[in-house]
Amino acid sequence: MRQELYNTFIDKKQLGKKSFAVLIDPDKVTPSNLHKLIDTAVMAKVDYFFVGGSLVISNHLDECIQEIKSGSNIPVVLFPGSPSQVSIYADALLYLSLISGRNPELLIGQHVISAPLVKKSGLEIMPTGYMVIDGGAPTTVSYISNANPIPADKNEIAMCTAMAAEMLGMKLIYMDAGSGAKNPISEGMIRTVAKHIESPLIVGGGITTPEKAFQNCQAGADVIVIGNAIEKNVNLILEMSDAIQQASSTIA
Ligand code: 1GP
């Protein structure tokens, strides 16, 4: 299996270099704000675009990715909310298994159904243990997934879940409080999980300030994902990027 892009996650982790992923929900961007977002991301040296959402209603996923590709060289990673969110124009796909829940459809069922389509896409596949953490109020992902999130104060459950995923062969761990979460994931939980796994750790959901992004990195997050806050204020990309780069230099 191809793993060029995955290797960049590994190389950066080994160097103590933290990464910044900007999440784009194709339903929430218009052509003009997408342009501005891409230009700002290039200026800020953003590491990755994650594209997807729990509920993508429109069918302009391909167009959205082609637009990103025409305006930047930043790799595009699909973050699919459902098996239909596959685009051959992306570079890679987070092949998510919702390991925090006990909904068999999101652990394996949908994977079986979409396997031929995903394989045919030729995309680089990144097997990802996806853990939804309670963000203080229901989010789209917690509702749509029909699965309980991990309680926000149960650090050990999160730790054991991530360890099990890694031993099952998943290559990335993604801890998500859900888009627009009221409470982002605590540094205590990030630290506990990070200490017990070797795989790159992606953290997102409800991160709205550069300080929080910095603290998450210091606690052990390797990739910070931000969507909602950037939709509201695109210029925040520059400050977030500075904070994440700053965390890299503090740690490395
Ligand atoms: C959600 O982790 C992402 O799946 C990002 O969350 O939109 O709250 O930044 P926000």
pLDDT in tens, 54-76: 666 667 899 999 999 999 999 99
Residue carrying structure tokens 């700002």: 40
Give residues with Cβ within 8 angstroms of 107, minimum separation 6: 97, 98, 99, 101
- Identify the pLDDT of residue 184: 98
- Give the pLDDT band (50/70/90) at residue 126: very high
Q: Answer whether residue 199 shows pLDDT above 70.
A: yes
Share of the chain above pLDDT 90, in %: 86
CA dihedral over 125, 201, 181, 24, signed as positive or negative:
negative
Residue pair 217/47 in contact by the 8 Å Cβ criterion:
no
| Whether the CB of 175 sits within 6 Å of ligand 1 | no
Amino acid at 116: P
**How far is ligand 1, taken at its centre, from the CA of residue 177, in Å?**
7
Question: Helical H runs in 16-154?
Answer: 31-43, 61-71, 104, 110-121, 140-145
| Whether the CB of 228 sits within 6 Å of ligand 1 | yes
CATH of the domain at 192: 3.20.20.390
Give residues with Cβ within 8 angstroms of 11, minimum separation 6: none
- Give the pLDDT band (50/70/90) at residue 252: low
- Give the pLDDT band (50/70/90) at residue 138: confident
Mean pLDDT taken over the chain:
95
- Give the pLDDT band (50/70/90) at residue 9: very high
**How far is ligand 1, taken at its centre, from the CA of residue 184, in Å?**
9
- Identify the pLDDT of residue 72: 98
d(CA 113, CA 104): 13
- Identify the pLDDT of residue 6: 98
| Domains of the chain: total | 1
| Whether the CB of 83 sits within 6 Å of ligand 1 | no
**How far is ligand 1, taken at its centre, from the CA of residue 22, in Å?**
9
d(CA 216, CA 190): 7
Question: pTM of this prediction?
Answer: 0.97
| β-pair partners for 173 | 129, 201
Q: Could you tell me the residue range of the domain that residue 135 belongs to?
A: 4-251
- Give the pLDDT band (50/70/90) at residue 84: confident
- Identify the pLDDT of residue 56: 62
More reliable by pLDDT, 124 or 28: 124
Q: What are 242's two structure tokens?
A: 């500075």
Average pLDDT over residues 117-121: 95
pLDDT tens for each residue of 166-197? 999 999 999 999 999 999 999 999 999 999 99
Q: Which protein residue's CA is at the shortest distance from atom 2 of ligand 1?
A: 204
More reliable by pLDDT, 69 or 81: 69
